[in-house]
Amino acid sequence: MKEVAARAGVALKTVSRVVNEEPNVSPELTAKVQAAIKELNYTPNESARMLRRGKTGTIAVVIRDIGDPFFASLGRAVELWARSSGSVVMIGLTDEDPERERDVCLEFVARRPDALIMAPIGETQDYLAPHVDAGMAVVTIDRPAHGIEADAVLADNAGGIDQAIDHLVRQGHRRIAYLGDDERIFTARERVVAYRAAMARHRIDVDEDLVHLSEPTTEGIGITLSAVLDRPEPATAILSANNMTTAEVLRGMAGRRDRVALVSFDDLALGDLLSPGLTAVAQSADVMARTAIQLMTERLPEPHRPGRTVRVPVKLTIRGSGEIPPSS
């Protein structure tokens, strides 16, 4: 800044005022300073400037896996907002590992972000309590936090499962297999509970041999499909409880001749191009991200207010796979 001041022939304070966009600098002096900045390729120290204002202009995002279409869309939505607001985004991945979650979050908060948007996996996030007490805004997405005061943006998991089961029952199905994720995950727990409640509401006994909860892998889902379809009374329909499981189910079904109805909780990007098209309960990552950003911006000036939880509606999209009738 001293070099800029010398080149422009102005006081150092004048350069500071121009760089920080403060008033009371004449257009002539502003033009001189801007010309000197351009000639010297001067770049203001954004970190120092933000810290003087008590902000860093940084948003930390901690999610499961950037390869998961839902979380990839979430990360992109936050990045687009940050770009328009002059903020910078740091993204870290947990791989659904509680220890990794803790390590990534603590590495990020050491860099003093203004806010943290995260999809928690650990049983508690109390390790963030000192930072929340110091004024850092925390908003969770897809799952709530525990042990800290934070806002949460959650999908209407129960409502989406209800829509899926109601639809399959209307098609005549009663032997509905449920393939879900690891029950450590909040959404997995909510959805399997909703499945049992929806089946009970329709007075259908749940066959526990048709309920499988595990990490979605190609080998694992292949074994699961065999377990629910290669039996004396096979499932006539499958409710797949997340997009990663659905992708593996479609892969496993490709080599089979079964005509089984399929409804997915979570849509797939090319779901409408399948034959038949994928019937899915769609949740909007963009809407959830925008809601999280809104809560974050509201919390920044009031970091110690009580946490709020917002449930985002989901919608059943009918394309054909969920309309296959039970085989005779």
pLDDT digit string (tens) for 100-111?
Answer: 999 999 999 988
Is the predicted pLDDT of residue 51 greater than 50, yes or no? no
Structure-token pair, residue 245: 């499981």
Torsion of CA 250, 255, 259, 263, to 10 degrees: -10
Average pLDDT over residues 7-22: 85
Evaluate whether 90 touches 108 at the Cβ level (below 8 Å): yes
The answer to whether the beta carbons of residues 270 and 280 sit under 8 Å apart is no
Per residue in 167-216, pLDDT (tens digit) is 999 999 999 999 998 888 899 999 999 999 999 999 999 999 999 998 88
**Can you tell me the mean pLDDT for 141-147?**
93
Q: Which regions of the chain does DSSP assign to beta strands (E)?
A: 58-63, 88-93, 115-118, 137-141, 151-155, 176-180, 211-213, 237-240, 261-265, 279-282, 309-312, 315-317
| pLDDT mean across residues, the chain | 89
Write the single-letter amino acid at 60: A
Burial level of 138, CB count in 10 A (0-12/13-18/19+)? buried
Q: What distance in Å separates the CA atoms of residue 239 and residue 183, rounded to the nearest whole number?
A: 16
Question: How far apart (Å, rounded) are the C-alpha atoms in residues 294 and 278?
Answer: 32
The tens digit of pLDDT for each residue in 60-108 reads: 999 988 888 888 888 888 888 888 888 889 999 998 899 999 999 999 9
Q: For position 300, what pLDDT does the model report? A: 86
pLDDT of the residue at 4? 86
Shortest CA distance to 156 belongs to which of 295, 5, 284? 284
pLDDT of amino acid 209: 94
User: Looking at the predicted structure, is the pLDDT value of residue 328 above 60?
Assistant: no
For residue 22, pLDDT over 90 is answered with no
pLDDT at residue 67, rounded to an integer? 82
pLDDT at 237 over 50: yes
Counting residues of the chain whose pLDDT is more than 70, the rounded percentage is: 96
| Residue 4 · residue 40 · CB < 8 Å | yes
Q: How many residues does the chain have?
A: 328
| Angstrom distance (rounded) from CA 196 to CA 125 | 29
Amino acid 54: pLDDT: 46
pLDDT, residue 146, reads: 94
| Mean pLDDT (whole number) for 231-246 | 94
Asked whether the whole model's pTM tops 0.85, one would answer no
Order of strands across the sheet with 279-282?
211-213, 176-180, 237-240, 261-265, 279-282, 315-317
Structure tokens at 299: 């919390």
